[in-house]
Structure 1
């Protein structure tokens, strides 16, 4: 299990990320499949790579009643957009993450023996999937996304993309200490003609 910053927030039934678990029951062994599309705007590394403004996260989960709570397992998938960290070209990618999280029943041994941020809790028969899914997606995203694994980036002289400039691209660089001497010889050669 991972530590979640939002473990103490109270879920509201109106959120698309929240599941009402009353129909599952508390008897261990009961389960229910759960599939839903939820708004994913802002999920990711903002300013680097994230779910676009109108993007959605597809949840395909199984919720199982266990002795200590509800075990949520399955996948969350989404499309993300950003820009290449080397050449700054826009890029898109698909991310799919595995989710396995225990939500503890109130007054269960797990609830009473773990710190508030160690395990998620069931609050008023509701579980909030958002912190778990957000954390999983963020951890799956590259901190420095690339359009291609071998992206060569930008030419430091002209700012052109190396992928478009070709192998012959180059810039003549003259050591400033020799520049005056080169100008002198250039002037001499032009006078002799």
Structure 2
């Protein structure tokens, strides 16, 4: 019959993993007896931010570990979930967003002298060192893969106006700007100057007619 142990620890409680190594688990008590199992239910603080550029679990945030450790012939098989609260920005409108991410782990940590270690490149296998397993890199990778590279506050987010930067969700209906092709900008400026000159001439003529009614009758 397999040995079975359950470990449940509060954040930073007595005997908990030091703050600087929150994802390191001591497996000394499991020995090397295949079938031996242990459960870990623990809330820890992550010392570094976990995630991608636009969204992630902030540094110094609670992360819940619900894991099962099982001794197998080649090492310790770790399965379970890691869960944390996320914050970030919508990739379209840049508004703050928050949520929860849960990742599922299935990782084998090999014994130092196992056949797996001897026949596998060092970069392709997790190892048990000093009777401890370090889940940090596995969790970093899993969270980064789970989170979207371009998170949205909502699927129908309209984003920002490309001209003035206002958030379109709160802009006036029909919000738009007259955009002139740069190739025609100089010509448009000249037409604007001509219109201004015509308006000035018309205004001067009207003023003269008002001052001299005979002038207006003669022109008519």
TM-score w.r.t. length of structure 2? 0.74
In structure 1, the residue matched to 2:49 is 42
In structure 1, the residue matched to 2:134 is 128
Q: In structure 2, which of residues 58, 61, 74 is the aligned counterpart of residue 52 of structure 1?
A: 58
Paired residue total? 180
Q: In structure 1, which of residues 52, 57, 80 is the aligned counterpart of residue 86 of structure 2?
A: 80
Task: Summarize the alignment of residues 64-79 of structure 1 with structure 2, pairs less than 5 Å apart.
Answer: 64-79=70-85
In structure 1, the residue matched to 2:173 is 167
| Structure 1 alignment gaps of length 5 or more | 1-12
Bigger share in helix: 2
In structure 2, the residue matched to 1:108 is 114
In structure 2, the residue matched to 1:181 is 191
Q: In structure 2, which of residues 87, 98, 101 is the aligned counterpart of residue 92 of structure 1?
A: 98
Alignment partner of 1:152 is 2:162: no
How well do the aligned residues superpose, as a CA RMSD in angstroms? Answer: 2.0
CA contact (8 A) 2:27 2:132 kept: yes
Offset from partner CA, 1:53-103 (integer Å, 9 cap, x none): 331221111001111110000111111111122211111121111100000
Query: Looking at both structures, which has the greater relative contact order when contacts are Cα pairs under 8 Å and sequence separation is at least 6?
Result: 1
User: Whole-Å Cα distance in 1 between the matches of residues 137 and 163 of structure 2?
Assistant: 44
Find the residue that maps to 2:124 and give its secondary structure.
coil
Q: In structure 2, which of residues 143, 148, 164 is the aligned counterpart of residue 137 of structure 1?
A: 143
In structure 2, the residue matched to 1:4 is none
Offset from partner CA, 1:8-61 (integer Å, 9 cap, x none): xxxxx742211111222321111111111222231112x522212331221111
Find the residue that maps to 1:70 and give its secondary structure.
strand
User: Whole-Å Cα distance in 1 between the matches of residues 136 and 60 of structure 2?
Assistant: 17
The structure with the larger Rg is 2
| Structure 2 alignment gaps of length 5 or more | 1-16, 207-220
